[in-house]
Structure 1
Amino acid sequence: MKTWIRHHFYAMHIAIRRLLATPFSSLTNIAVIALVLALPLLASSILVSMEPVARNVSVNPAITLFMKAEVPLAETRELGEQLQQENQAYIEKLEVIDKNDALAGLRASESWSNALKVLPRNPLPNSIVVTIKATNDQASKAQELAQAWSSLPNVDTVQFDSAWVQKLDAILSFTRGVLLLLAIGVAVVVVGTVFNTVRMQALVQREEIAVARLVGATESFVRRPFLYLGALTGLVAGVLSLLLTTFGLASLNGAIARLSQSYGTDFVIRLPDVTWLATAIVLVMIVAALAAQWSMTRHSRF
C-alpha cells in the first residue's frame, strides 16, 4: 500500500514538474480549455438564475371544461372529483367555478358591468379549470386529456390553447440541445488539447521513457505521470473557467442591475450550486485523463 501511494505521489510530482517546465505551452492549453468551458458555465448560470423568475409565471397548460347549461353545480363538482381521481398523476390543480361567482366577477369589471345589466338571466355555465403538471410529455398529455374530456356527456365545450404549450416545449428542447452541443464542444476541445500536449511530452521524454522500460518500469508506472498531467490540466482549467465566469458575471450583472431597476425588479445572474460546479470540474478532469491515456496508448510505442 505504501509503495502504491509513493508511486502516485511520484507521478503527481513528475506531472507538476512537466507543467512548470513549459509554462507558456501549459498556460496556453489551460486557457483554451478554460475559455471553452466558460461558455456552458455561463449558459447554466443564466438558466439557474431564470428559474425563480419562471416560477412566478404560470407555464403549466390549463384546460377549461364548460358544462352544459342545464348541468347543476353539484354534478359539476362530482365530475371534478372524478377527473381528479382518474388523472391524479397529471393534474396539478383542479378548480370548480360556480357560474354565479363568474358572473359576479364580470359585473365587478367596469367594461362588463353595463352590458350585463340588460341580461335577464345568467348566460354563463359552470366550469372546471384543470392545470396540468409539468412533465416531459406535458404538451401531448394535455392535448390527449382535452380530446378525451370533450366527449364527456355533461361537457359542452373544452377550451385548450395548445399552440403556446408546443412553442414552450420546442424552446425547452432547443435549450437542452444547445447545452448538449456546448458540452460536446468542451469535451472535443479538452480531448484534442490534452491529446496533443501528452503526445508532445511523450516525444520529448522518449529517451527517459525508454531508459525506464530498460530498468524494468511497468507500463502503468510510465503512463501514470501523463494521466496526472491530463487531470491536473483539467483541474486548473476548470478553476480558471470559474474565475473567468465569475468575472464575466460581475460585469454583466452591473448592466443588468441598471436595466432591472428601471423596471422595479432586482435580477442577478448567479453561478450554479457548489455540487454542480464540482461535478463539472471532476468530469473535465476525467475526460482529460482519458485523453492522456489514449494519447499514450498511441504514441508511446518506441
Structure 2
Amino acid sequence: MKNESIAFIMAGRRQRHRRWVLVTSFLVVLACILCGAMLLLGNTIHPVKDVIRALLGERIQGVSFAVNTIRLPRMLAGVFAGFAFGIAGDIFQTMLRNPLANPNVIGITTGSSAAAVFCIVILHASGAVVSIASVIAGLATVTLIYILSRGKSFSIGRLILIGIGIQAMLNALISYLLLVGAEQDIPAALRWLSGSLNGSQMHELPPLILSVFIFAPIVIMLAKQLSILELGEQSATSLGVNTDRTRMMLILSSVCMISLATSTTGPIAFVSFLAGPIAKRLVGVGFSNVIPAGLVGVNLVLAADLIGQFAFVVRYPVGIITGIIGAPYLIYLLIRMNRKGEL
C-alpha cells in the first residue's frame, strides 16, 4: 500500500513536470515567433534571408538600417523588459500571497517613473542618469512602503493600501512635474509614461540586459524558497527558510530589474500584474512559476506592441494595448476578491 501511494505521488509529479516543460517550451517558441515578426514587419516587409544577412553584419541597402537600428533594439527592449516585468510581478504576488501585490499597483513602478520624469523634464537628462535614478527611487519607494506597513506586525493588506496611497501621491508629483516642465520636454515624457518601445536604441539597453542576466538567475535559484514563503511566515521558518534574508534578496532583485525596465521602456501597464496569474493557469501547481511568468511577460509585451503597430489605423504605444487588456482583469479580480471577503 505504501509503495502504491509513493508511485501515485511520483506519477503525479512527473505529469506536472511534463506540463511545466511543455508550457515553458511553447512560451519560448511563441516568443521566438514574435521576435521574428518584430524583425520582419514594419513599413516595409523584408525577406527572411535579407533580415538574417543584415543581423550577421552584411550591409544591405534599406534593410540593415531598418533591422539593426530600429527593429532589433525595439525587439530586445520588449524581450528583456517583458521578462523583467513578468518575473518581478510574480515575485511580489507569490511572496505576499495576493494578486494585487504587484509593482504596478503598490507604487514601485510609479516611484521609478517619478524619478525618470524628474530627470527628463527638470534635469534634461537621459541614459545612465535616468537608469540610476529609477533604481534608487524604486528601492526607496519599496523601503518606505515596507516601513510604513510594519506597524506592530507586518500586514499584507496594510502594505497594499499604503502602496496604493504612495502611488497616488507619486502620480500627483508626476502631474506637477509635467505642469512645470519645459514645453519641449513634455511630449517625450508623456510618450515615455504611456509605456513604449518606440525609439529604443541599442546603447540604452545594456543596463537592462545586464540586470536581467544578474538578477534573474538569483531569483530562479531562490524559486523553491519563494514557493515556501507562499505558505506563510511560520510555515516557511519551520521548514528552514531564512525568511528575512530570502525576502530581502527577492525584493532587491525584482526592484532592480523592474526599475531598469521602467527607465528603458516606461511603465508598461499591467504586464507585471497579468504575467504571474496567466503563467500559473498554464503551468499549474507543483513547480516554480518564475520562468513561465517571465516568458508570459515577454509574449505580452511583444504581442501588444505588434497589435499597437499594425492592428489599427493609428499606431498606439504598447502600454495602451496592455492597459486595455489588463484593466478589465483588474476589475474582475477586485469583484471576485470582494465577494470572497478578501478585501
TM-score by length of 2: 0.23
Greater helix proportion: 2
Instruction: Specify the structure having the higher radius of gyration (Cα).
Output: 1
TM-score by length of 1: 0.25
Greater strand proportion: 1
